[in-house]
Amino acid sequence: MIVLFRTLETEVKIGLGGGCHWCTEAVFQTLAGISQVEQGFIRSDPPNASWSEAVLITFDPAELPLEVLIEVHLRTHAATSHHKMRGKYRSAIYVYDAGTGVRVGRILHKLQKGFDEPLVTKALFLADFKASDDQFQNYYLKGPDRPFCKSYIDPKLALLRRDYAAVLRQDVEAAE
């Protein structure tokens, strides 16, 4: 038997990095099927062993399929850009085992067809995670009117409401 995910009962834990962890946290806190979003820093094996901003999420793949989760991730950060901040904001999907890495790679290959430029996002092994300080946890939820939230997070949430309404938590849909 091949285990595709590190499971917590029926839930799956996976890491996502690509942009500011405040933005990534806010995006995934709005999706149905996600029970926990941990904001912080993540690293993989060399050559990706430096700490990079990311979130660790726990989700139910029966409610939120992995392919949809990955598509949302790709659409809410610069998944095709080799910008100068890639070290701090590594575009990756962090997994606990090779089987999940292969599955994520196949999903990335399939989703590539929806992008004009090549994706820079990689499937990487999740070697370590450390949470952000408490003062930064739930950044958007604690202060949605902050200038950073208005400038960077609100446009991502608007994209979700427009293109991914079917996978939003009901309380998020009702807020608009």
Instruction: From the options 3.90.1170.10, 1.10.3210.10, 3.30.1060.10, 3.90.1150.10, give the CATH code of 7-171.
Output: 3.30.1060.10
- Domain-by-domain residue ranges, the chain? 7-171
pLDDT in tens, 93-109: 999 999 999 999 999 99
Question: For position 3, what pLDDT does the model report?
Answer: 40
Distance CA 152, CA 158 (A): 11
CB atoms within 10 A of CB 31: 21
Question: For position 164, what pLDDT does the model report?
Answer: 96
Read off the pTM: 0.90
- Residue that is written with structure tokens 């999903």 in the block: 107
Instruction: Tell me how far apart the terminal alpha carbons of the chain are, to the nearest angstrom.
Output: 45
